[in-house]
Structure 1
């Protein structure tokens, strides 16, 4: 969840869907009906569906671009203005267009490497041209901020981050900036001038020497002078102690609910199957398991023994470790005992009737166990913690949902978890929360632990492992997270050129000093947003932002990951507007909206989103158009900002912010946790879902390198996806099959007049009447259409960054009303309850702008 360092006015000016990865799938087999021809009832079975209308030129760049850099950049200073009233938006453009081009001076960098500036998946700015004065920034009403994902996962084809292993690290003596492609070499190459503060520094002696080959080296081939994202192996002066080993303590609820839902059995089995995948390159990894109900259950694994012993502690108020040794054990040395324990774990508690959950005491015990070293605590809880320290009460009250008091349910019930989290942060202990419950579990309070310790929250409402889909989702996500390469005892700092200052911070960390962020662990694909102020006029032609993350790797090395982004400066308001990165801006505004809803009311957050849009678009109209501040029948925006109102409408309709009397507090709190931690590549589809028509996929797809490939088959760029549709139910057809997904869930919508052949080919059922709504798994059948639909679903699941494995829901048009309404709520261009349609929203923005003077 968002954590802001400074108390600033909300949205103070001072203050894409990711390309899909290639996956394999069985090639299409034969089918009795052409796979692109499921007709309306009464039509001949083999009649060809009408071909889609010709796509826009932009659409020829489809989402089949698994590697970075294949997107279409926007030209720098593209000042095209569009009228959003009645303007049809092509969703493919949101998926494929890169941020506005960064138009640096030709001499900004001595390196011509294509990687000399940060890829937006690592670091991006809300503005790709920096105003030279704070007055200009204030005038534009665009908040200036960086959106960071320093440890993003790599898909097949993504370049690896280069590593500088010779421990020769050149840094500015004054501002401590790391040498990068934007410094200048002077005095015959003997010295270099810092791009941040202009201080002259000596080039290190061994900078031009290859220590492995023991010969002179070409300095201009060094990674740090050619790549904007680089990792240095740190020398001893970057360590206050030897690099810590990876340490994992699993604190597991074993109460009646945890056992009966199958959570314990699934977690134990997944952990057992994942032991060899846990990071342990140097055989130093340690592991421990603490089970909690109304007591604490410790397990000792003496050296040389494969038989674990259980030690039970009933004192919850003064937690102690019953034995100093053999509770935290080496993963390699005690592997046989760990495997034995995990194999038998569920059976140990299978007869329990204990409904207690002393989670807080279990967390304290885990902290005592590893606080001298640091590490990762993985807490799994299936019920509301109800005993000992950190005990919580069920405060769910459906009567206050949708009222001004609802925000109280999104604030922590007790300060215990934040206080404990800060103690953990000081000792380099990070906490992940895995929450499972069919009843209230207070996600809002429990997510505070990951928020301040650099962890992550995962939530599985109504989890029941008897449903294979529930067990598969949890096992996939749990296995992925514990196998991820872990970054430990990290600190992060962002430096910038003179005149620029970091002013507020959003994300899962603790602010240790004015600009030093403490992250006991850095999860893969977690995002952070940092607001920026311009303190003094900037005279330089460009500014540089550099993020440095000092951390310990899972294999025992101290390293510094450095991400450098250079952006030109401008004194032109039109250049400023044409440089807006609408995806970065939406990411920041989502963080700030969640923060606002927690500090005051949900209604205030929604109003702030609307008011900020009015402010930005009203100022744009007054500044960039002839109509100035007068009334106008148009709502104008720069072409590079045309999706911003739609993304913000998606935010207002997201479960994290939407006005509703039907959204449980836990579901809303978890949505807010996602909104403030997901990288932009995951956040965009969460705000603006993807909508495909499957029943009439064209036989030929107009894409650049696979002109004859069918949707759902494999081209040289992976599984070919259909063209995404606008998010409106007007596109639903009563005989059709549609897919809607937001990165967290996938809905397969089946129209009530779907022909029997389609139902047979996809679901292996004789007719629509035999189909059941709900969570499910599609069979893979021996026909082309089944294989293509399964390939598309597989592609959708694999393409997103992060560990998430979306559930698949079968939605019948006349089926379960609640499920139907949930699926339709993702079609954000439609009117929903009291919330406007997209065109109504645009007109409301236009009227608000006309009512004000800018």
Structure 2
């Protein structure tokens, strides 16, 4: 390493003292310690200048002449501008750490003469106060087609501006991970390892990747010098301050890994939070530290999230060269290390040395050598491998869709049969069938089973009726499940006639259990989907149910029994389906009690989903449109078939419990007959042994068959740093992931115990988190405190927990029907975080006074209004407001709204002419109508999932039940049973002050 000349002495930067403070002169040879905004009263020895020719000491946060310490050449700095704040040092050219509220004067120039970019303080992730709005269109214009916005990439960062090239930093040989070709500018050069693996690791060294860097990280962890706790998070006061709901869209706290943790400099090397996120972005080194923090440790995984226009597709490795660890079976990923000149790689989970496959550096298509550093599995945390034959127990199954449709009198009268048949007919071209292998079949059911022979050699279907329901059998072996491409004509003929075939029926009974058993016999040899469209309550055994709705039990301790399955048939049937790779999806459209709690068992254990449409009537266009849209999107969604999912973690970490729709086949293996799009799974973790490495990794592998007949493995890898600091744990906590986990645990507690127990457990968890933060990380360690404090990144956790307590799935109320509560619980355990947060904390917009550019087409699509806090203080008699939670949209209309707004939005002249309730806004030529309709359209299309929210018009003095339903979404206000947000904070403060943590 080249010698660095001693720095020139420059004035030490000190913040301005208080006007009333008169410090005493410092002793000779001492300097003051820099504490921004606080008078200097403590004196520490002044460091002596290094002798000529000595290497200048470097600490994290210093800018040496060779560049930023620990920076990966070619990589942008972390989010937030200048990446490293200086520690409390008086060395020339070093910036002292500053309070987020302290604005220093001009800094002295560094000794190298280079300018330093001063980082401005921030109030939250991704939100800059007093930011000027973009210069969008200011005149109203018709809405243009929407361009979907890709989710924010939390790994991208603003580029540093250089005024002169920076020389390459010289690392010790044992810490170098790669060599670089251009030593002139570490920000502009391209990462090109000269020799794979050279300098990364000495063969025979103990398997502790980047051990020296981990030691350095641990040394500075307690000093809060890694840039996380100082520059990214700070303590905020909750009481007396209105929550900033715009921060709900902020990205999670940044993941700050040690330098050179990844073998490439790809910005996609770590997993995007939309696929996998952790409740803690810094993992505690010991179980004692985790227990002390009271913070939950869990993964939230959405392996098959939908990919919209503008999203990066998942890269696919097609050469079937799959490198896996021989011991723990981890797939090669960006966080392994190469040794012995690149001939071997060390697993980042168990640290075993593995041989690099012979074809790893060879392109089979071009039959020529290839650059290993461009391989997708070394540059992307989310990647798919095309599986070779050894990953197949049998040839890939074709997509199989067997429809079980209720044709009893209630289903026919409400228009369910006709609507379902027409939707299936219009969706035949959208079913996944690129390889012409998709199979389709139909069973209709009332008090008998009706099978349909769909022979490709005929043009008309043949109905076969089976009345024996106790020992169900298939009336013929062939042509009940046919190839869609070959029998397309006869399938269309059946669907065209199905809506009228049972129009004169008077049968009210239903034998769903027998129909499910028959459908299982029909598809079990292939596997596939059983899609149930059900209207009435099953009344015939097996699986016969009774109306057990008890209004007297609602809101009492007996209510939890109504949320549990009433018949073990459905759970047993679901387990049998899981073994045969059969998934069950339920579409429940009953006008009466449907027992969602019992029927949802089938989707829960087979990886399916439950959809509920209470009081459905196809005569209302809104009902027919919602069901047809969601049913069509469901049929067109790509799915993964006959799948299993396994989660692996670094040594010392194990999985303890799983939440979601699946069946646990082994302790760490989840059976998923279908991997549905945008389904979320939560997995709790525990620390068994002390973690000694600077980073840990979590890898999720989903082995599945695509709906296009290809066996693949989707791999998601997430790397997180390890810490011994409690403050870093709190600064890295992800409030969205924590809320997702708490929602899953609350639902599970409700189903196994009582609703009251789940609410109490949720409240106690929030109190524990706040209490530990107060006792360990605030000046008021013990005793009563008038304030409630938490780290900035967790400031909305109390608000989200209040939203969960007031949610229809958990709220204490005697007015919530059992079916609605059971369906809400199904959504709470399957929704991805993006949908779940809005479901718990609805969006609230003011429409009557929105700026002119809102609702028009901007650079990123339709410009949305600024969300408001969910409090009735925002409601004015002359205003029009919109509230949406992803399932329903409400438009609140005040009594004193300007008559011109009635004309522009509803095409009526007076308030009395507005029709409240479920409605559809007219498409008018006025600017206001076009902008509001554009906002509603963007709301329905922007989020992931198949859901199409209903629209309700709520008049200020309209239907009382509709008004109460609307006001139940205004969660910052007090309700009959749950306190307001201000009262909730006061209650939490009192419990925290009274507890011992």
Q: Please indicate, yes or no, whether the TM-score normalized by the shorter chain is above 0.5.
A: yes
What's the secondary structure of 1:437's corresponding residue? coil
The 5 Å alignment of 1:821-832 reads 821-832=964-975
- 1:717 aligned partner: 860
What's the secondary structure of 1:277's corresponding residue? coil
- 2:687 aligned partner: 534
Shift of 1:506: 0.2
The 5 Å alignment of 1:139-218 reads 139-218=292-371
- 2:743 aligned partner: 590
Distance in 1 (CA, whole Å) between partners of 2:955 and 2:559 is: 32
Shift of 1:766: 1.2
Distance in 2 (CA, whole Å) between partners of 1:407 and 1:140 is: 31
Q: 2:236 aligns with which of 82, 85, 93?
A: 82
CA 1:851–1:72: 2 relative to 1, 3 Å: farther
Distance in 2 (CA, whole Å) between partners of 1:640 and 1:301 is: 59
Distance in 2 (CA, whole Å) between partners of 1:830 and 1:61 is: 30
The 5 Å alignment of 1:357-436 reads 357-436=510-589
Shift of 1:60: 6.3
Distance in 1 (CA, whole Å) between partners of 2:391 and 2:480 is: 31
Shift of 1:302: 1.6
Paired positions, count: 789
Distance in 2 (CA, whole Å) between partners of 1:195 and 1:609 is: 35
Distance in 2 (CA, whole Å) between partners of 1:746 and 1:60 is: 30
- 2:152 aligned partner: 69
Shift of 1:486: 1.5
Q: Mean Cα displacement is larger for which, 664-673 or 819-828? A: 819-828
| 1:267-307 Cα distance to aligned partner (Å, 9 max, x none) | 00000000010001110100000000000000001222110
What's the secondary structure of 1:188's corresponding residue? coil
Contact 2:153/2:272 (8 A) holds in 1: no
- 2:637 aligned partner: 484
Q: 1:631 aligns with which of 760, 775, 784?
A: 784
| 1:465-512 Cα distance to aligned partner (Å, 9 max, x none) | 100000000000000011111110000000010000011000000000
| 1:526-574 Cα distance to aligned partner (Å, 9 max, x none) | 0000000000000000000000000000110000000000000000000
Matched, 1:243 2:243: no
Distance in 1 (CA, whole Å) between partners of 2:572 and 2:603 is: 12
The 5 Å alignment of 1:239-278 reads 239-278=392-431
Distance in 1 (CA, whole Å) between partners of 2:614 and 2:483 is: 34
| 1:372-424 Cα distance to aligned partner (Å, 9 max, x none) | 11001101100111112111110000011000100011000011111100000
Contact 2:156/2:267 (8 A) holds in 1: no
Distance in 2 (CA, whole Å) between partners of 1:755 and 1:342 is: 49
Structure showing the higher helix proportion among its residues: 1
Contact 2:148/2:308 (8 A) holds in 1: no
What's the secondary structure of 1:276's corresponding residue? coil
Matched, 1:57 2:129: yes
Contact 1:123/1:148 (8 A) holds in 2: yes
- 2:450 aligned partner: 297
Shift of 1:72: 9.9
Matched, 1:686 2:829: no
Q: 2:923 aligns with which of 767, 777, 780?
A: 780
Distance in 2 (CA, whole Å) between partners of 1:58 and 1:790 is: 29
Q: Mean Cα displacement is larger for which, 84-93 or 353-362? A: 84-93
Contact 1:252/1:292 (8 A) holds in 2: yes
Matched, 1:219 2:372: yes
- 2:247 aligned partner: 93
- 1:17 aligned partner: none
Shift of 1:65: 8.7
| 1:50-107 Cα distance to aligned partner (Å, 9 max, x none) | xxxxx96287699999223356999733341111101111211212x10000000111
What's the secondary structure of 2:149's corresponding residue? coil
Distance in 2 (CA, whole Å) between partners of 1:59 and 1:552 is: 48
Q: 1:796 aligns with which of 890, 914, 939?
A: 939
Distance in 2 (CA, whole Å) between partners of 1:208 and 1:492 is: 29
Contact 1:59/1:93 (8 A) holds in 2: no
Distance in 1 (CA, whole Å) between partners of 2:500 and 2:151 is: 48
Contact 1:61/1:71 (8 A) holds in 2: no
Distance in 2 (CA, whole Å) between partners of 1:374 and 1:393 is: 31
Distance in 1 (CA, whole Å) between partners of 2:587 and 2:153 is: 36
| 1:205-249 Cα distance to aligned partner (Å, 9 max, x none) | 101111111111001100000000000000000000000000010
Contact 2:844/2:883 (8 A) holds in 1: yes
Q: What is the Cα-based RMSD across aligned positions, in Å?
A: 1.4
Contact 1:500/1:533 (8 A) holds in 2: yes
Distance in 2 (CA, whole Å) between partners of 1:408 and 1:56 is: 49
What's the secondary structure of 1:743's corresponding residue? coil
Distance in 2 (CA, whole Å) between partners of 1:403 and 1:839 is: 27
Higher Cα radius of gyration = 2
- 1:8 aligned partner: none
- 1:728 aligned partner: 871
- 2:907 aligned partner: 764
CA 1:60–1:616: 2 relative to 1, 3 Å: farther
Contact 1:73/1:101 (8 A) holds in 2: no
What's the secondary structure of 1:341's corresponding residue? helix
What's the secondary structure of 1:128's corresponding residue? coil
Contact 2:955/2:963 (8 A) holds in 1: yes
Matched, 1:108 2:261: yes
Distance in 1 (CA, whole Å) between partners of 2:132 and 2:244 is: 12
Distance in 2 (CA, whole Å) between partners of 1:657 and 1:70 is: 33
| 1:111-131 Cα distance to aligned partner (Å, 9 max, x none) | 111111000000000000000
The 5 Å alignment of 1:826-845 reads 826-845=969-988
Distance in 2 (CA, whole Å) between partners of 1:70 and 1:199 is: 32
The 5 Å alignment of 1:550-629 reads 550-629=703-782
Q: 2:957 aligns with which of 791, 803, 814?
A: 814
Contact 1:422/1:453 (8 A) holds in 2: yes
- 1:13 aligned partner: none
- 1:35 aligned partner: none
CA 1:72–1:237: 2 relative to 1, 3 Å: closer
Distance in 2 (CA, whole Å) between partners of 1:274 and 1:739 is: 32
Note the residue ranges of structure 1 that are not aligned, 5 or more in a row: 1-54, 700-709
| 1:779-814 Cα distance to aligned partner (Å, 9 max, x none) | 110111110000000011111110000000001010
CA 1:72–1:534: 2 relative to 1, 3 Å: closer
Contact 2:148/2:310 (8 A) holds in 1: no
Distance in 2 (CA, whole Å) between partners of 1:847 and 1:220 is: 56
Distance in 2 (CA, whole Å) between partners of 1:83 and 1:410 is: 39
Contact 1:551/1:559 (8 A) holds in 2: yes
Q: 2:800 aligns with which of 634, 647, 654?
A: 647
Distance in 2 (CA, whole Å) between partners of 1:493 and 1:606 is: 31
Shift of 1:433: 0.5
- 1:120 aligned partner: 273
| 1:135-186 Cα distance to aligned partner (Å, 9 max, x none) | 0000000110000000000121100000000000000000000000000010
Note the residue ranges of structure 2 that are not aligned, 5 or more in a row: 1-126, 137-146, 158-226
